[in-house]
């Protein structure tokens, strides 16, 4: 078993008994996309809703519009069946509600964009833990397809 960490703006895939982890989700949205039958999954740590021109060559994982298609392609290339893929998402918080006018609530925009792009690619959303004003850690156990979300000061919860 390997623990694979997905950093801010990255996307990674794993198979078998590997575990994909992303920490420090604030306004960012973590997306877990997996094929429960073939036990292949991927995770993206999405930073903003939209890239400047619909493409980010260096880091497709950074933006919802580039990350969802790139994650889908990566999971399929790793052996996932497109028709079996399901998604779960976490994050999209607003850690500085007092400044929400200044920062225009990036978290909510990120969640909306991720949902829009998942729907556009016909990827069913099976679970979510989004919003609020707390940071999150997201873990995908690829073998079981189990997705856990953790925040400081509360018990881990399955979504």
Of the two residues 39 and 137, which places its CB atom closer to another protein in the complex? 137
Q: At 158, is the secondary structure helix, strand, or coil?
A: strand
Can you tell me the distance from the alpha carbon of 59 to that of 20, in angstroms, rounded to the nearest whole number?
A: 18
Q: How far is the CB of 81 from another protein (least distance, A)?
A: 29
Of the two residues 38 and 103, which places its CB atom closer to another protein in the complex? 103
The residues of the shown chain that bind another protein, judged by CB under 8 A, are: 7-10, 23-28, 47-48, 51-52, 56, 58-59, 62, 93-99, 102-103, 106-107, 110, 133-137, 152
* Other C-beta atoms lying within 10 Å of the C-beta of residue 147: 27
**E strand or H helix at 65:** helix 64-77
Q: How far is the CB of 102 from another protein (least distance, A)?
A: 4
Q: How far is the CB of 46 from another protein (least distance, A)?
A: 10
Tokens for 87, please give them. 């998604």
Q: At 63, is the secondary structure helix, strand, or coil?
A: strand
Can you tell me the distance from the alpha carbon of 27 to that of 109, in angstroms, rounded to the nearest whole number?
A: 9
Q: At 149, is the secondary structure helix, strand, or coil?
A: strand
Of the two residues 5 and 82, which places its CB atom closer to another protein in the complex? 5
Q: At 3, is the secondary structure helix, strand, or coil?
A: strand
CB 5 within 8 A of CB 21: yes
Q: How far is the CB of 137 from another protein (least distance, A)?
A: 7
Catalytic center residues: 28
Of the two residues 79 and 156, which places its CB atom closer to another protein in the complex? 156
């Amino acid at each position: 078993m390997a623990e694979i960490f997905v950093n801010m703006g990255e996307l990674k895939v794993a198979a078998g008994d590997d575990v994909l982890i992303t920490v420090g989700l604030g306004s960012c949205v973590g997306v877990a996309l997996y094929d429960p039958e073939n036990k292949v999954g991927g995770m993206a740590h999405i930073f903003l809703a939209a890239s400047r021109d619909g493409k980010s060559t260096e880091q497709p994982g950074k933006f919802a519009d580039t990350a969802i298609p790139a994650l889908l392609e990566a999971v399929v290339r790793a052996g996932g069946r497109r028709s079996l893929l399901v998604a779960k998402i976490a994050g999209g918080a607003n850690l500085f509600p007092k400044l929400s006018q200044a920062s225009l609530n990036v978290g909510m925009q990120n969640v909306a964009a991720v949902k829009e792009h998942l729907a556009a690619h016909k990827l069913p959303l099976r679970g979510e833990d989004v919003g609020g004003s707390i940071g999150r850690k997201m873990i995908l156990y690829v073998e079981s397809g189990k997705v856990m979300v953790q925040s400081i000061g509360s018990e881990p919860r399955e979504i």
